[in-house]
């Protein structure tokens, strides 16, 4: 029993002790582990496999980009060493200097055996990109990630130091060196009247509400460092602070927060309540329950929160699931914006102020930093402002537990809202802004088969809104409605002789609707991005003896400007089908207005007692791909999948 529980929990939920869980952040205490992610020895001349994350193409102007290779580096043994640095200068030889779009391209190859590694790219301490490496195959892999970094335009037009931290280990077992090129593509604007990227749109509104910031301050750790520039949050009481000072003529500010979770919290959404751990006398099982939130404070007052998307790194749950289709967000982790314009009045005094980051219920370790985007009034040296209202109550948490021994159910619900309003007086006049966040969380966890079975059914709702009242009395609002469904079914069967069979089904969704409204109209965009994965493996000791991962994904993005869909499926490294196109979904066409009730894919539901394990996935009814779930239990001859 103890063994099976250990293998279940540690297998699918934890990282520190299990061979196959993701190692995106390497535990410092276990630098040299002998566990393997293994594969057949390659036959000759097999081309590298291309791994990818499904996402929409970046909308580009029809102009030829000026492209610069800003870093070429081989990440061998880089763990615990300073970030790789390069001098960055803005494009000098580009015929046009009015850039409509700026794209960062990460391209990497790797061959051999290696864990997934978290990494990030900073420019002048401002984080541009956070990502996770793909896990290589013996035959080699290649992958490319493109990210629209136009919002960092003002920073990219100045000389800076580029920093990349990717903590990798090379030894006799882990042979994969990551060969990386980072290129930045600058696309000139394609219409002469749009001389630069920040031309106003038809709204005739203050520039700060439709273009990149004039100044971006890093809210990250300073050099010198033998690590990333992120802060490391190690427990629930840990608060990491950063002092900053803003120019006194700011009139808008947005804090962009980057977040990733590792080691004991890599699979936080499956962490067990402490009462279960204590009652069963478990040790080494990550606890604190399954709820986490990143809390941001300004001068000690909570001003915003992030309830993060459940990114699964490329080695997570079952590494075979993410080859070649990577998990949502794994190659380009989302960042989260918190509008702090209502609070500007409190920090325009020319003095030093302090942001703080903490994580409710955190276990070691969370990597967090932020960028402060600031818009400056070019017609005055001082603006002024005042915070009018501020509301932030602690999260309302409810946990209902019903367990006997190692079997039972846990239903956790949490909700919270944070809002502030205030005005700023600048040459644009007096603009009053209200910023609000509202969150809702439910997590139903079922433990069965004496701890060998775990089912997690989680849903995060994350609403943001910014409403700005202009001096003309016109009102501009930006609203975002996010829903992150997550489902995990994980069953381990002890096969004896130190082997076990692990079955894991995962559903992962990132859905977001954005609504922008102004006097000139309403524009809506929506994203539905859903993955289903089914994995099975036979694990013996530390080795994957055999296994199979199958993944299906459907991606639909709709907006008034363009639509994009992709429907792709893979099994055993092979793409089974792959269709994409620019058709808008029927569903969204009919709901492009408000009508969120219809837009929500999931029925509201709060039925703890109705949580029969066979029905728990009722939360996830948006399941457009009931495609064949292929399962292979290859218990036959033990394939020495390990190669060297
Ligand atoms: C990086 O760029 C160099 C020079 O263009 C090229 O030889 C190399 O193959 C590139 N590597 C990757 C991983 O794209
Ligand atoms: C930026 O760096 C380039 C190359 O080193 C240098 O020629 C230029 O003068 C620098 N610009 C500024 C504003 O420091
Ligand atoms: C939490 O982490 C901080 C930072 O590492 C440490 O100083 C503190 O002792 C820890 N607290 C607990 C209760 O472990
Ligand atoms: C709890 O764990 C301790 C330490 O491993 C062990 O001595 C004890 O027997 C365990 N008790 C139960 C009830 O399992
Ligand atoms: C707790 O679980 C047991 C076993 O499944 C069940 O018989 C009992 O009714 C449950 N109690 C509550 C309060 O839900
Ligand atoms: C988010 O907004 C939608 C649409 O207005 C609403 O139905 C839902 O209750 C909101 N969620 C939260 C957590 O406030
Ligand atoms: C997976 O593909 C390999 C060849 O690429 C094949 O040898 C193996 O049998 C396949 N596994 C399953 C379970 O289909
Ligand atoms: C939050 O979720 C609970 C449980 O599903 C539900 O009762 C409540 O209405 C939700 N609140 C919002 C604002 O969506
Ligand atoms: C994706 O393609 C599969 C296979 O062609 C099909 O069964 C499924 O309905 C498609 N899903 C969507 C959302 O288009
Ligand atoms: C998990 O996946 C397997 C294999 O595809 C399937 O047989 C099983 O019904 C799935 N279980 C759940 C609860 O989704």
pLDDT in tens, 136-166: 999 999 999 999 999 999 999 999 999 999 9
Over 80: is that where the pLDDT of 253 sits? yes
Give mean pLDDT, residues 267-291: 96
Report how far ligand 9's centroid is from the alpha carbon of 567 (Å). Answer: 6
565-574: per-residue pLDDT in tens?
999 999 999 9
Give mean pLDDT, residues 287-307: 98
594 Cβ closer than 6 Å to some ligand 6 atom? no
Asked if residue 631 is part of any domain, the answer here is: no
Give mean pLDDT, residues 521-532: 96
Q: Which of 413, 444, 459, 465 to mutate to test the pocket of ligand 8 (most atoms within 8 A of CB)?
A: 413
Domain range for 201 is 2-619
Regarding predicted confidence, which is higher, 595 or 245? 245
What was the pLDDT predicted at 543? 67
Give mean pLDDT, residues 315-326: 92
Q: Per-residue confidence at 315, pLDDT binned at 50, 70, 90?
A: confident
Over 80: is that where the pLDDT of 44 sits? no
- The DSSP annotation for 208-240 comes to GGTS--SEEEEESPPSS-SS-SSEEE-STT--E
Q: Which of 276, 399, 400, 402 to mutate to test the pocket of ligand 5 (most atoms within 8 A of CB)?
A: 402
Report how far ligand 5's centroid is from the alpha carbon of 188 (Å). Answer: 64
What was the pLDDT predicted at 26? 33
Phi, psi (deg, nearest 5) at residue 312: -105, 120
Asked if residue 172 is part of any domain, the answer here is: yes
What was the pLDDT predicted at 286? 95
What was the pLDDT predicted at 207? 65
If you take atom 11 of ligand 2, which residue's CA is the nearest one? 159
Report how far ligand 2's centroid is from the alpha carbon of 90 (Å). Answer: 9
Report how far ligand 8's centroid is from the alpha carbon of 440 (Å). Answer: 6
Report how far ligand 5's centroid is from the alpha carbon of 446 (Å). Answer: 12
pLDDT above 90 covers what percent of the chain?
73
Q: What percentage of the chain's residues is helix, strand, coil (to nearest 5)?
A: 10, 45, 45
If you take atom 1 of ligand 9, which residue's CA is the nearest one? 567
**Which of ligand 1's atoms lies nearest the C-alpha of 69?**
2
**Which of ligand 3's atoms lies nearest the C-alpha of 237?**
1
What was the pLDDT predicted at 190? 79
Q: Per-residue confidence at 211, pLDDT binned at 50, 70, 90?
A: confident
What was the pLDDT predicted at 542? 62
- The DSSP annotation for 116-176 comes to --EEEEEETTEEEEEEEPPPP-TT-EEEEEEEE-GGGHHHHTS-EEEEEEE----SSS---
- Residue tagged 């809702």 (tokens): 440
Give mean pLDDT, residues 100-113: 96
What was the pLDDT predicted at 631? 21
The alpha carbon of 572 is separated from its chain's Cα centroid by a whole number of angstroms, namely: 25
Asked if residue 636 is part of any domain, the answer here is: no
441 Cβ closer than 6 Å to some ligand 6 atom? no
What was the pLDDT predicted at 544? 74
What was the pLDDT predicted at 191? 66
What was the pLDDT predicted at 30? 23
Asked if residue 639 is part of any domain, the answer here is: no
User: Nearest bound ligand to CA 631?
Assistant: 10
Q: What average pLDDT is seen over the chain?
A: 84
Range from 58-72, 181-195, 310-324, 429-443 carrying the lowest mean pLDDT: 181-195
User: Nearest bound ligand to CA 410?
Assistant: 5
If you take atom 6 of ligand 1, which residue's CA is the nearest one? 181
**Which of ligand 1's atoms lies nearest the C-alpha of 109?**
13
If you take atom 5 of ligand 6, which residue's CA is the nearest one? 596
340-393: per-residue pLDDT in tens?
999 999 999 999 999 999 999 999 999 999 999 999 999 999 999 999 999 999
- What is the rounded CA–CA span in Å between residue 354 and residue 138? 47
Give the burial class of 449: count Cβ atoms within 10 A of its Cβ; 0-12 exposed, 13-18 middle, 19 or more buried: middle
Q: What Å distances lie between residue 196 and 98, 188, 210, 211, 483, CA to CA?
A: 4, 8, 13, 10, 34
Give mean pLDDT, residues 464-478: 94
Report how far ligand 9's centroid is from the alpha carbon of 285 (Å). Answer: 39
Asked if residue 628 is part of any domain, the answer here is: no
What was the pLDDT predicted at 174? 87
Over 90: is that where the pLDDT of 22 sits? no
What was the pLDDT predicted at 405? 96
Report how far ligand 7's centroid is from the alpha carbon of 49 (Å). Answer: 15
Give mean pLDDT, residues 404-422: 98
Asked if residue 102 is part of any domain, the answer here is: yes
Task: Give the contacts of 526 (CB within 8 A, at least 6 positions apart).
Answer: 511, 512, 513, 514, 556, 557, 558, 559, 588, 599
**Which of ligand 8's atoms lies nearest the C-alpha of 415?**
1
* Total domains, the chain: 1
Asked if residue 108 is part of any domain, the answer here is: yes
Asked if residue 352 is part of any domain, the answer here is: yes
What was the pLDDT predicted at 200? 40
89 Cβ closer than 6 Å to some ligand 2 atom? yes
Report how far ligand 9's centroid is from the alpha carbon of 255 (Å). Answer: 39
């Amino acid at each position: 029993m103890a063994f099976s529980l250990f293998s279940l929990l540690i297998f699918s939920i934890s990282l520190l002790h299990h061979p196959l869980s993701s190692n995106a952040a390497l535990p410092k205490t276990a630098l040299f582990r002998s566990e393997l992610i293994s594969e057949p020895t390659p036959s000759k001349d097999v081309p590298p496999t291309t791994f990818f994350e499904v996402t929409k193409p970046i909308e580009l102007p029809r102009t030829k980009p000026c492209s610069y290779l800003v870093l070429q580096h081989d990440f061998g043994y880089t763990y615990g060493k300073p970030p790789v640095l390069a001098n960055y200068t803005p494009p000098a030889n580009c015929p046009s200097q009015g850039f409509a779009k700026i794209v960062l391209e990460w391209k990497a190859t790797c061959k051999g055996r290696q864990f997934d590694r978290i990494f990030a790219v900073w420019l002048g301490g401002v984080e541009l990109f956070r990502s996770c490496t793909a896990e290589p195959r013996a035959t080699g892999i290649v992958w490319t990630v493109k990210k629209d970094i136009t919002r960092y335009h003002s920073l990219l037009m100045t000389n800076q130091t580029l920093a990349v931290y990717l903590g990798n280990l090379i030894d006799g077992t882990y042979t994969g060196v990551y060969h990386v090129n980072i290129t930045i593509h600058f696309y000139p604007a394609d219409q002469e009247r749009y001389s630069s990227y920040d031309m106003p749109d038809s709204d005739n509104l203050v520039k700060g509400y439709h273009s990149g910031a004039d100044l971006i301050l890093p809210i990250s750790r300073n050099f010198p460092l033998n690590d990333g520039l992120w802060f490391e949050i190690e427990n629930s009481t840990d608060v990491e602070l950063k002092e900053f000072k803003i120019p006194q003529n700011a009139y808008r500010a947005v804090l962009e927060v980057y977040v990733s979770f590792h080691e004991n919290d890599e699979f936080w959404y499956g962490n067990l309540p402490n009462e279960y751990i204590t009652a069963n006398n478990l040790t080494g099982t990550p606890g604190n329950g399954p709820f986490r939130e990143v809390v941001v404070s300004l001068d000690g007052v909570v001003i915003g929160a992030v309830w993060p998307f459940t990114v699964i790194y490329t080695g997570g749950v079952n590494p075979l699931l993410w080859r070649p289709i990577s998990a949502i967000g794994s190659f380009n982790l989302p960042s989260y914006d918190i509008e702090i314009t209502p609070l500007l009045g409190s920090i325009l005094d020319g003095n030093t102020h302090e942001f703080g980051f903490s994580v409710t219920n955190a276990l070691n370790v969370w990597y967090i930093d932020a960028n402060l985007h600031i818009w400056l009034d070019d017609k005055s040296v001082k603006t002024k402002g005042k915070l009018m209202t501020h509301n932030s109550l602690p999260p309302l948490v409810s946990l209902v537990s019903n367990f006997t021994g190692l079997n039972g159910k846990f239903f956790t619900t949490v909700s919270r809202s944070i809002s502030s309003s205030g005005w700023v007086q600048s040459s644009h006049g007096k603009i009053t802004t209200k910023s609000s966040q509202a969150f809702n969380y439910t997590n139903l966890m079922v433990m069965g088969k004496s701890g060998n079975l775990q089912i997690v059914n989680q849903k995060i709702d994350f609403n943001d809104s910014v409403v700005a009242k202009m001096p003309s009395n016109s009102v501009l609002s930006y609203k975002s409605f996010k829903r992150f469904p997550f489902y995990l079914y994980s069953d381990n069967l002890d096969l004896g002789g130190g082997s076990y069979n692990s079955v894991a089904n995962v559903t992962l969704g990132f859905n977001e609707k954005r609504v922008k409204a102004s006097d000139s109209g309403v524009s809506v965009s929506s994203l539905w991005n859903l993955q289903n994965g089914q994995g099975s493996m036979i694990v013996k000791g530390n080795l994957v003896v055999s296994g199979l991962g199958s993944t299906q994904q459907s991606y639909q993005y709709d907006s008034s400007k363009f639509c994009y869909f992709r429907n792709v499926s893979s099994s055993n490294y092979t793409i089974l089908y792959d269709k994409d196109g620019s058709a808008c979904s029927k569903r969204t066409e009919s709901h492009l207005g408000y009508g969120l009730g219809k837009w929500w894919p999931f029925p509201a539901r709060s039925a703890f007692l109705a949580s029969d394990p066979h029905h728990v996935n009722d939360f996830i009814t948006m399941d457009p791909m009931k495609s064949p779930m292929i399962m292979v239990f290859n218990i036959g001859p033990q394939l020495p999948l390990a190669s060297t």
